[in-house]
Chains A and B, each alone.
Chain A
Amino acid sequence: MSIIFEAIVYLAVGSAYWWWAQNLTIFGLAPNLIFAAALCSAILAGPVKGVAWGFFLGLYADMLGSDMFGGYALTYTLMAYGVYIIKRHFDMDGLFSQLVASLALSWLSILFYQGLVISFSRPGHLDLRIFLAEPFLNALAVPVMFQVFYRLKRGLGIL
């Protein structure tokens, strides 16, 4: 049963991000809810499920984009694994650690993805505005998303 709820949550996250990017952008900026969901699921879920969530959320992000297919999937997969490693040493449930993690991982993800773009697709063009601003928006979104996922985990047994 939980797999159905997980699928619903997964689609809801993707749709929410898509809708937000359509309607609620401020100066063309929006928090990357897919990234936030990948990070939160990596924190809350077990290692396999966390990595799987990262992969599938990355696929969703790839599907929304027109660039190379699989770049975000690889990025979020590795990020989820990194979080699995980190959370064995640090308490990731706290607000401060989530803020720091989301900031650091946002920048790492962007850089890593740009590296993939350069490697597999074409010369990358990193949008400096997104590179500088999006991690902060993500840092705001992650604690909220974490609370939502935490309650869904307790209520529906997902993750």
Chain B
Amino acid sequence: MSREKDAANYAVVFFTAVSILLLLFPVSKIAHTVRIAASYSLYPSLHYGARYTHYVRNVPDNFISLLETDQENRALKDKVRELEVRLQNASAAAGENERLTKEMGLSRSLPWGGVWSRIVNKTPADWYGSFYIDRGSESGVTVNDTVLGMEQGKAGLAGRVLEVYPKFSKVLLLTNGAASAVCAIGPEGLEALVEGKGTWMLKMNYVPEEAVLTEGTEVVTSPGGLLFPPGVSVGKVKKVYPRESSMNFVTADVVPSVNVNTLKEVFVLRRSLPEELLGPRQAEKK
């Protein structure tokens, strides 16, 4: 321990003395020689450091650049996701556009004037009862206007306008339990009453027993019904029930021409209905 301490003392004295000499005689030959020797010994590290510094010189910048790239990458990923969503929306819009174009073509071929409207709200609790459309009195929609839907390129009766507001309206679907339409069956034109059941299926009542009613028979609106224009497809007979002994008519289930589940746009017919069929406000306007 003592030897170690002595060695330490000698070392510190020696190196301190050398340092002080270097400090005291900075321009002396010895100090200059030491400085030159030290510099020659140490400069290679700087020389090669400077020579190869380009490998490491930009490390901080590269690191920052890497961080920025990472941030940019994250932002771009978010943007890609957003664009994917937009693309999906665009393809949906393109599909809608195609469908609307098709339907517009159909609407031109329809014998009635009217306005296309988008279904804006369907209530799950009243799925087969009613829905809202984005056209109202400002677009000329009036109470009891006929609402048509397009199914497989063909117009079908969806229901009628029940309530009208300036910018939207409520449509009572034919499948609603409170809705009904006078219909004509087949070429004979025998009339019957089609009623909603609150389900996807319609019920046809008061079918004369002499009517030839088979599955698939087309049912259209009758000229006798004032509410709806004649000749609009209502649906096809699905099932005919036998006449009951106490009644002199038959009943049948009818599949509606318009599937409420896939309906997205409807065509609201503008017709000159008799005043008694208009709502009180529309009648007053007239």
Contact = CB atoms under 8 A, between A and B. Distances in A.
A51 B59 contact: no
B19 A74 contact: yes
B5 interface: yes
A48 B19 contact: no
Contact of B60 (A12, A14, A24): A24
On chain B, which size bracket covers the interface? 20 to 34
Interface string A1-40: 0000000000110110011001110000000000000000
A14 B42 contact: yes
A19 B12 contact: no
B16 A74 contact: yes
A15 B31 CA distance: 24
Interface stretch (A64-72, A98-106, A130-138): A64-72
A15 B39 contact: no
B15 A54 contact: yes
Contacts of B16: 74, 77-78
Given A69-B22, A73-B22, A47 B8 contact: yes
Given A23-B56, A54-B15, A11 B42 contact: yes
Given A18-B46, A23-B60, A51 B23 contact: no
List the 3 closest A-B pairs by CB distance, nearest first: A70-B22, A47-B8, A74-B19
Interface of A: 11-12, 14-15, 18-19, 22-24, 46-48, 51-52, 54-55, 58-60, 62-63, 68-71, 73-74, 77-78, 80-81, 84, 116, 120
